[in-house]
């Protein structure tokens, strides 16, 4: 595999991450100035929460989907595909999990390359052919190779603090500094909104990067493009009840659930049409 960087995409990700860093530095200065000694307590609380979330990310994600790890005797072909693709991607083979769901989707989770899980739904296995499934699995392995769980956890750390200050600001500050607390809550609300937008932009860029990585792992970007079209078409026939139950996993899925207002508001992925267009361009370049 020839793992090449898309410097234009990487540049956009770096700009987004840089804007987040500037925003968070300014936010930290405001909080320290107006809330004083209450900040270390808040940082320790949210930092501890984030560490727990980071180290238990695989278990939390699998539990929320009702998925279970499966061994090679249960899904031999799936294990063989992931094993071969992992070798092509120069990665340790991740654990394999399957979720009983009609929603055709997949996600990767885990705090690093040595503690990763790739999960697919039974709906996905029934929807895609072998080449399309390999494209989707390679996309998830690219997320693991790019360390996306770690990056997005770090990116969202101070956003979580901002949300906590907005929600519980009065508890963090000195009661004799009511004016300062109001300023801090206002600043936190602005930071939370802006970081919300920037983090989702970063998430969308990382989806493009994972698509590109999948094309490089398999050498067949057209297979992933075909898989995206198949999954997108099947989504239209999945009952709305099933879509609502799984919408909280949007940030993990290869294609997010975008039914209704909530799905569109919390958009973590670029449009399927744009992803397919880029994959088709890569296919043409390879040809």
Q: Which residues are catalytic?
A: 140
| 3-state DSSP assignment of residue 103 | coil
| 3-state DSSP assignment of residue 2 | coil
Residue 225: both structure tokens together: 């493009």
Residue 104: both structure tokens together: 């055709």
Tell me the C-alpha distance between 165 and 156, whole Å: 14
Strand partners, 118: 96, 108
| 3-state DSSP assignment of residue 216 | helix
Query: Phi-psi region for residue 107, left (φ > 0), alpha (ψ -120 to 50) or beta?
Result: beta
Strands (DSSP E) found in 147-248: none
CA separation (Å) from 34 to 166, 168, 174? 14, 15, 9
Tell me the C-alpha distance between 96 and 80, whole Å: 11
Q: Please name the helix (run of DSSP H) or strand (run of DSSP E) that holds residue 67, with its range, or none.
A: strand 67-69
Pairing of strands 117-121, 95-99: parallel
Tell me the C-alpha distance between 236 and 273, whole Å: 15
| 3-state DSSP assignment of residue 186 | helix
- 13-47: b (≥16 Cβ within 10 Å) or e: beebbebbeebbeebeebbeebbeebbeebeeebe
Residue 167: both structure tokens together: 């929600």
């Amino acid at each position: 595999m020839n793992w090449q960087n898309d410097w234009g995409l990487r540049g956009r990700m770096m700009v987004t991450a840089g804007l987040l860093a500037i925003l968070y530095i300014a936010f930290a200065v405001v909080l320290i100035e107006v809330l004083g000694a209450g900040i270390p307590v808040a940082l320790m609380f949210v930092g501890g929460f984030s560490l727990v979330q980071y180290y238990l990310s695989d278990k939390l994600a699998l539990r929320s989907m009702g998925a279970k790890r499966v061994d090679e005797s249960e899904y031999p072909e799936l294990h063989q595909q992931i094993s071969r693709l992992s070798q092509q991607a120069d990665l340790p083979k991740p654990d394999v999990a399957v979720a009983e769901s009609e929603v055709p989707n997949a996600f990767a989770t885990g705090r690093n390359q040595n503690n990763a899980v790739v999960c697919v739904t039974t709906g996905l296995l029934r929807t895609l052919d072998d080449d399309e499934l390999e494209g989707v699995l390679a996309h998830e392995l690219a997320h693991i190779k790019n360390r996306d769980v770690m990056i997005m956890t770090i990116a969202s750390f101070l956003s979580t603090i901002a949300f906590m200050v907005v929600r519980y600001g009065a508890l963090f500050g000195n009661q004799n500094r009511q004016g300062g607390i109001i300023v801090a809550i206002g600043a936190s609300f602005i930071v939370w909104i802006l970081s919300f937008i920037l983090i989702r932009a970063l998430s969308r860029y990382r989806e493009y990067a994972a698509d590109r990585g999948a094309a490089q792992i398999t050498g067949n970007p057209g297979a992933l493009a075909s898989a995206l079209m198949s999954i997108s078409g099947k989504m239209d026939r999945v009952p709305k009840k099933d879509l609502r139950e799984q919408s909280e996993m949007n940030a993990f899925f290869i294609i997010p659930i975008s039914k209704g207002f909530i799905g569109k508001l919390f958009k973590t992925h670029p449009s399927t049409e744009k992803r397919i267009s880029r994959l088709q361009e890569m296919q043409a370049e390879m040809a």
